[in-house]
Structure 1
């Protein structure tokens, strides 16, 4: 989807979880890429496959998952890497900022020691003084004073903990950062601060960033491109501003319309939204998976599966785009 050299490429990726109740298709035929210095967003409601997609980058999916297709990091397939190469990839090649820093940080260990842990693992032989200096630099890079390295997680605010998670993700100087809903638990002011930190890091360090969120407005402000997922598939992708202001797919339009407009009384008293929830992956509807909730559905939608049509710049999977 981008002409420059790619850091990350999903090539027709599908992930199915094997459970006692049967197979659960979480990701279905996703192709997507991220280049150095680029921010790519993945949007969609809970259950649309976003986090499963992210987990495959570091091969964190459970053993019960059946994965087909390829996940290429700098041209090498993560899914077939030997353990030594995969161990090097994690932290040093690509790292992840998880949702909910309070649950991801060790509550009985100072945050400086937690940031230092991957450095000690991937760069053995460094002195304690050198590592402590690196930890202080990382904290300052994300807008925290170096002295906060001595704090425990409970002594930090939500926004500060999230910055610690970002500092930890940067500890081994990765080329790709994966941020899975990193601002969900934060208030809007702190959310804006954390997003600015991420934006500046991409610009200053020339890393790639894959940003996952249910909030299309957040992605529109931060990302270069956005891919919208529904029921495990990418149903629209394109430039962030276009997907937010001029969506092609009715589902992307519904996500964009759910963003509140301050001062708009009509939106206040009649908020936009969609009835129902994304389908159960074990009972996907026939035809277009979105058609039971689509306000623009027509006769063919319940029997024809729309393909992603367009080009590397802009595409959508909707029969409305194929209608004469």
Structure 2
């Protein structure tokens, strides 16, 4: 799949050819800096992008292409087959409606429950996400940040979807509430067998919640693999930089000399040639300025470079970097 935005200055490539697959009961994490294309990818899955976006490729939901659905079919799929937990529940919830009404709305719109039954189901959903049933009568401003995020999760679960897309679901939450929300998400995925796509810039959060990770940079996936393996042993320099950006508790060297990544992501309208990461890469080789590598097994095993689809049944760790290719290493630049 690829996504390009049309603008007065020209076309802006936001997602540049990505292939991913999520299985039932599996959690896939998307990581990367702001501007890497994570949220664009997530919003594309249910056609929530503005009209200025042009999407190519396929988005298959249980074998049905979302991009070719008419509006009636798309409305039937949203919330019922796939739902979204938006970033910042304070802005996603309607401030002048009680939260119980907002959770009940998808149930009523899709004809899943009559009003009386919907109220009963709302009470059960609130209790399932750790809130008392009487909170259905509250307005969003009467709830804390963590409680509002739980309401969003309850709304996403209301119609028992097959897939949930969570875009930065713990942003702006304190550490304790963040831990509670992540524990809740993990337990719900396990209990209900729901597929989850979770987006975050925080690799530690994704490693603790997801089965697999896909690291994005400049609109491309540059590393994939089992979540813990990518977090602790990233093979792409960008994935390694993201993992090392977090200090280690109790490690004086980590506290006194924090590691990070200099520079900024490239302007999508002025992407550098070759590997888009090479201007910021500490181990770039001369060929990185003109050579763009596809995802390759990090163990160097032989594979067809054209077959770079990340499938849920695979546990292979891959990276789009010359340093994982089974070739003689060049001299460093």
TM tier relative to shorter chain: over 0.9
Unaligned runs of 5+ in 2: 298-302, 304-313, 329-333
Whether contact under 8 Å (2:293, 2:320) holds in the other structure is yes
Secondary structure of the corresponding residue to residue 269 of structure 2: helix
- How far apart, CA to CA, are the structure 1 residues paired with 2:162 and 2:286? 47
Greater Cα shift, 304-313 or 85-94: 304-313
Given candidates 272, 276, 288, the residue that maps to 1:301 is 288
1:122 and 2:122 equivalent? no
Measured after TM superposition, the shift of residue 15 of structure 1 is: 0.2
Whether contact under 8 Å (2:293, 2:321) holds in the other structure is yes
Given candidates 158, 174, 185, the residue that maps to 1:198 is 185
- How far apart, CA to CA, are the structure 2 residues paired with 1:271 and 1:248? 20
Deviations 1:42-64 (A, max 9, x none): 00000000000001111111111
Measured after TM superposition, the shift of residue 128 of structure 1 is: 2.4
- How far apart, CA to CA, are the structure 2 residues paired with 1:28 and 1:53? 10
Equivalent residue, structure 1, for 2:166: 179
Secondary structure of the corresponding residue to residue 278 of structure 2: coil
- How far apart, CA to CA, are the structure 2 residues paired with 1:183 and 1:164? 13
Deviations 1:128-167 (A, max 9, x none): 2211101001101101011000001011000000000000
Name whichever structure is richer in strand by fraction. 1
Whether contact under 8 Å (2:108, 2:114) holds in the other structure is no
Given candidates 125, 143, 146, the residue that maps to 1:138 is 125
Deviations 1:19-40 (A, max 9, x none): 0111100000100011110001
Equivalent residue, structure 2, for 1:6: none
Aligned pairs for 1:1-324 within 5 A: 13-123=1-111, 126-310=113-297, 312=314, 313-322=316-325, 323-324=327-328
Unaligned runs of 5+ in 1: 1-12
Measured after TM superposition, the shift of residue 68 of structure 1 is: 0.8
Measured after TM superposition, the shift of residue 315 of structure 1 is: 1.1
- How far apart, CA to CA, are the structure 1 residues paired with 2:73 and 2:96? 31
Measured after TM superposition, the shift of residue 127 of structure 1 is: 3.2
Under a length normalisation based on structure 2, what TM-score does the superposition of the two structures give? 0.92
- Count of residue pairs brought into register by the alignment: 311
- How far apart, CA to CA, are the structure 1 residues paired with 2:88 and 2:72? 29
- How far apart, CA to CA, are the structure 2 residues paired with 1:88 and 1:158? 30
What is the root-mean-square deviation of aligned Cα atoms in Å? 1.0
